[in-house]
Structure 1
């Protein structure tokens, strides 16, 4: 097999076929690849954004591993291009590649705010904190132009519905004007995913996410505005960024973070071969050692999806990582319990008025 080649600005190295495909195309070198002329150059991978009309917007889960039961995702796919993203397999349901398609063929739920308002207006709705942008980042680059996440926040602000955000994009600073008043009412908290403080490593892992220093700057500005902020060291990758755990926590604490957590690398379905290719493209000498450690953490497999172990792993390395996190959090004064992150107030929720249907009499004229 040829060695995977990094693609500038992209995390995946191929259009890996999804697990539901019945036909698979395979690239073959016909001898012309050595010609570097413009005529034979590979086409540039541009980002294609397609509108999607959502029928529902609130997703629910009963996982004991996460601190929320409801989430809203304004986008499918993510231009950040994180090589390790656990959401990549979702593109297989669309007959698209979890590889390069996931980060270049995106879907924007253009009616998300309208659908959210409709679902919050249902008579039987019981408010529980909503996690905004969990499967894919709600502040990925296309949000700057489309503003769907801001529209959702405006609906949540209008109804005083509690919610939390997790992002790796400094674009969240744009919405401080909405978030600060909500924070004063205990209606919002914001968490930043910081994988590394090394901009070179970050650019390889998360090619279109904000640089580490920009995330810390955004964290500081939100904290200064009175918005509760936290840090997630996610994912922790053995022999790639694991040595930075304490440094990331210390930098986040200095930027105003009050809570902290971490997640071990997860490699479900197509993510495993995509991440193996990423290792071969960027760290070929470490690839075997990295995957060997991951297998030890996952009971001899690339991934173990069981509740209780999927976020932390098992074995000596997992215990060492947990102890390092615990000691660092205690030293820095972090509130490191996921269940004790800033409590959000569900008692202020005011349901929006249900949408009114136009009178059929209007059709007579």
Structure 2
């Protein structure tokens, strides 16, 4: 990865309406993501905006500096119904620049004051900084945190997610958050056919999640829409050339065959049963996504 260009901008609104999911609103403090995950669905949005889904997505990050103020205005409205807000549907809210701008923390403060239900998905270890707010939101507002873990294999991780903290460090942060009273769990997504879908690899992720105290676990298989698909195929050519032809058969469209999705789900469900993990947090917490989270706005 090269140098990242950060640009401040004023957003026109804080919350995005979401259709067809188990939550109705999303919140993204940044546009673009330094984590540079090669499978990320949000590359598609750069493509749709005539931006480069390769270099622009991770090389140019927009910072929505006025987001906390916009959020305050929206959730203070008499018409607001305290519906669940999903944080980080198209960017990681705890990517490194959050350490400077603290937009995610400031938004959590807004939600905590109003006891507004939320859940957050991240690969960022900076989440530990906000343990106080995340625990408060767990207690008072059905809050939950999902750590995205695709693999425990260091070589695969470095290829797939070059800008992210190591999976073991994410799990260490998860463990500390759980001990602090946060409903935190693991999202095994996306499961990448031919790369992270072997039973031994999945078993290691689920075992480690259980040993680190995850309170829930879910997962699902990779999907590839235009914008992300071209980038990911280039990634395969460079790193897993043997998979290029099989992927053309698996992904003539955005989704793999149903049989493959069912196979993956069966494996995950068996592993959850083995390690006594549920797919949702305790009843007092907001439901996490039970699909590939990156599908949230796709």
Measured in 1, the distance between the counterparts of 2:185 and 2:222 equals 19
Q: Taking structure 1 as reference, are residues 211 and 291 closer, same or farther at Cα in structure 2, changes over 3 Å only? A: farther
Number of residues paired by the alignment? 284
Aligned residue in 2 for 1:206: 161
Instruction: Judge conservation of contact 2:46–2:227 (CA < 8 Å) in 1.
Output: no
Instruction: Specify the structure having the higher radius of gyration (Cα).
Output: 1
Q: Which moved more, 1:111-120 or 1:174-183?
A: 174-183
Q: CA deviation at 1:323?
A: 1.2
Q: How does 1:265-276 map to 2 (within 5 A)?
A: 265-276=222-233
Aligned residue in 2 for 1:158: 113
SS in 2 for 1:118: helix
Q: CA deviation at 1:227?
A: 0.6
Measured in 2, the distance between the counterparts of 1:242 and 1:289 equals 14
SS in 2 for 1:245: helix
Measured in 2, the distance between the counterparts of 1:265 and 1:291 equals 14
Q: 1:167 aligns with which of 122, 125, 149?
A: 122
Measured in 2, the distance between the counterparts of 1:166 and 1:174 equals 15
SS in 2 for 1:233: strand
Give the TM-score, by structure 2 length. Answer: 0.90
Q: 2:254 aligns with which of 295, 303, 309?
A: 303
Q: Taking structure 1 as reference, are residues 134 and 96 closer, same or farther at Cα in structure 2, changes over 3 Å only? A: same
Measured in 1, the distance between the counterparts of 2:190 and 2:282 equals 19
Q: How does 1:138-287 map to 2 (within 5 A)?
A: 138-243=93-198, 244-287=201-244
Measured in 1, the distance between the counterparts of 2:85 and 2:188 equals 21
Q: How does 1:112-131 map to 2 (within 5 A)?
A: 112-131=67-86
Q: Taking structure 1 as reference, are residues 342 and 73 closer, same or farther at Cα in structure 2, changes over 3 Å only? A: farther
Instruction: Judge conservation of contact 1:75–1:107 (CA < 8 Å) in 2.
Output: yes
SS in 2 for 1:330: helix
Measured in 2, the distance between the counterparts of 1:181 and 1:216 equals 21
Measured in 2, the distance between the counterparts of 1:94 and 1:194 equals 29
Q: CA deviation at 1:342?
A: 4.3
Greater share of helix = 2
Give the TM-score, by structure 1 length. Answer: 0.74
Measured in 1, the distance between the counterparts of 2:257 and 2:283 equals 28
Aligned residue in 2 for 1:308: none
Measured in 2, the distance between the counterparts of 1:276 and 1:119 equals 40
Measured in 2, the distance between the counterparts of 1:247 and 1:67 equals 28
Measured in 2, the distance between the counterparts of 1:286 and 1:71 equals 34
Q: Taking structure 1 as reference, are residues 341 and 70 closer, same or farther at Cα in structure 2, changes over 3 Å only? A: farther
Aligned residue in 1 for 2:292: none
Instruction: Judge conservation of contact 2:221–2:264 (CA < 8 Å) in 1.
Output: no
Instruction: Judge conservation of contact 1:239–1:290 (CA < 8 Å) in 2.
Output: no
Instruction: Judge conservation of contact 2:24–2:85 (CA < 8 Å) in 1.
Output: yes
Q: 2:12 aligns with which of 15, 33, 55?
A: 55
RMSD: 1.7
SS in 1 for 2:146: strand
Q: CA deviation at 1:186?
A: 4.5
The reply on whether 1:69 has 2:24 as its aligned counterpart is yes
SS in 2 for 1:285: helix
Instruction: Judge conservation of contact 1:164–1:190 (CA < 8 Å) in 2.
Output: yes
Q: Which runs of 5+ in 2 are unaligned?
A: 287-298
Measured in 2, the distance between the counterparts of 1:290 and 1:197 equals 23
Q: CA deviation at 1:93?
A: 4.4
SS in 2 for 1:185: helix
Measured in 1, the distance between the counterparts of 2:227 and 2:122 equals 23
